[in-house]
Every structure is written in structure tokens, then in C-alpha cells.
Amino acid sequence: MLDYETVLFDLYGTLADIHTDEDMSRLWSGFSRFLGSNGAAYGSADLKKAYFCLVREKEERPADAHEALRRADAHEAHPEIELGEVFRALYEDRGVTEVTDELIAQTAAYFRKLSTTHLRLYAGTAGLIRSLRDAGKRVILLSNAQRLFTVPELKTLGIYDLFDRIYISSDHGCKKPDPAFFMLPVNEMDLEPASCLMIGNDPVCDVRGALNVGMDAYYIHSALSPKPCPDPASLGIDAGHFQDHMDLGIVRRRLGV
């Protein structure tokens, strides 16, 4: 049995299966109609180009608050943009001056709805989290994601209230495997890294990121994981912390809950 005081989970590809496609023509035609109905007129091709240009600009611009993280070996610092700023800029570039937070939230929800082809929990997700909580474990979500998308999806999936704390990268300007992102719950919740287990489906973001700050890591190879499936030795973990397929029942048995 694996015994830890705190279990941190990745979301997409670990607890929930999702598929999004931002290249679909129906996304950009539908999104252009939505923006147009709110005063921002774009053709679908122009909108797609403007959106990705804004995203690239924001990804390439260091956030002042995290400048100290961007050393010469900046592979450890992975900024995550706030996509709400992109949606706001799309409106403002077309002369819309009253861009409220409510409009941004509605815009994000509509964009995500158009770009998502499916979203579902993996079998056993809610039961695993509840069992960990019942066993006295702290359960934390540590996700590379956009709050505007992820919070509504957590609520739709019915697991938003199951976590002790939720950390979403867009709130903090950095994301896994950046040590700064892993250290947020450690510092804010007074955690001991050696008593923490990070469970995720990405060898770099989840496994290497956790190991680099002194946490243990548990790898699950899912349909959303990078290919090919690695072996435990290459990840620096033992076979008891490794699964080559998605089955949260195995996780539950190994954690003894």
C-alpha cells in the first residue's frame, strides 16, 4: 500500500477524458457569429488568425510577476497565459468598450463548447477522490489549464467540491513542470513534499515536475499521454507507481482506499 498524507491530481488525461479541436471550421464560424452579436465583427478566417496571434504574443511575453523565474535555463519556467485577456482584446480591437467580466465568462464558455467534442470522467474518479478524503488524505488538483474553462467543467463533471484545494495554472502565470507551481500548495498548505504523491499522465509535467521538488510521482498512461508509453525506469519511479493503461481502480487498490 502506498501511504501519503497528500495526493495531488492532474485533471485532463488523469481524472477526465477530453478532446478539443481549435482547427474546426464550425468553431470559427460559430465563434465569429457570437462575437458579432456582441459588437465585434470578424470573418471566421480573420478571427482565427487574430486569436492565435494574440495567444502567441501573450505566450512570448514574460509576466512581470514571474520575471525572477526566467533564468538562463528557462526550461524550468513555463508561463501560462490568461485566456480571458485574449477574448477581451478581440472585443477591444473591434471597438467594444464595455467588456465586462460576465461577457468574458460567456465568451469563454461558448468558445469551449464549440471546440470540445467530448468531456467525461474516467470510471472511478469520484469514488477514488471520496475514498481518499474519507481516509483522511488531503486531495489537491494541480492542473495546467484555463480557469475560465476548467472551473465550469469541474462543476459539470460533479467533482469541483471534492478537492481540498484547486490550483489552475492560468491563475498563477506558470504551470507544471515549473517548480514554482508545485511549490504553491506546499507553501500555502504547509505540506511536506516527501509525504505528497502527484498522480498524472504526463512524464515531464507531472512525473519529472513532482520528483524535482521532492514529491513522489505516480504515472498513468492514458489516451491523452505523450506517445510512446515510457517505462518506469526511464521515469525514475518503480513499477508500483506506474500504469501502462487507464484504470483508476488500480490506483485505489495501491493506495489502500
Per-residue pLDDT, 60: 80
Alpha-carbon gap, residue 31 to 47, rounded angstroms:
8
Per-residue pLDDT, 61: 67
The domain made up of 6-19+118-255 has a fold known as Rossmann fold (3.40.50)
- Given phi > 0 = left and psi -120 to 50 = alpha, else beta, which region is 11? alpha
Reference 138, options 212, 191, 183, 176; nearest CA is: 191
The alpha helices in the chain, defined as continuous H runs, are: 25-37, 44-60, 83-92, 101-115, 125-134, 147-157, 179-188, 209-212, 232-235, 248-255
Per-residue pLDDT, 44: 98
Predicted structure pTM score:
0.90
- What are the residue ranges spanned by the domains of the chain? 6-19+118-255, 20-117
Q: What three-state secondary structure class fits 222? A: coil
Per-residue model confidence as pLDDT tens for the chain (257 residues):
688 999 999 999 999 999 999 999 999 999 999 999 999 999 999 999 999 999 999 888 655 444 433 333 333 334 578 999 999 999 999 999 999 999 999 999 999 999 999 999 999 999 999 999 999 999 999 999 999 999 999 999 999 999 999 999 999 989 999 999 999 999 999 999 999 999 999 999 999 999 999 999 999 999 999 999 999 999 999 999 999 999 999 999 999 99
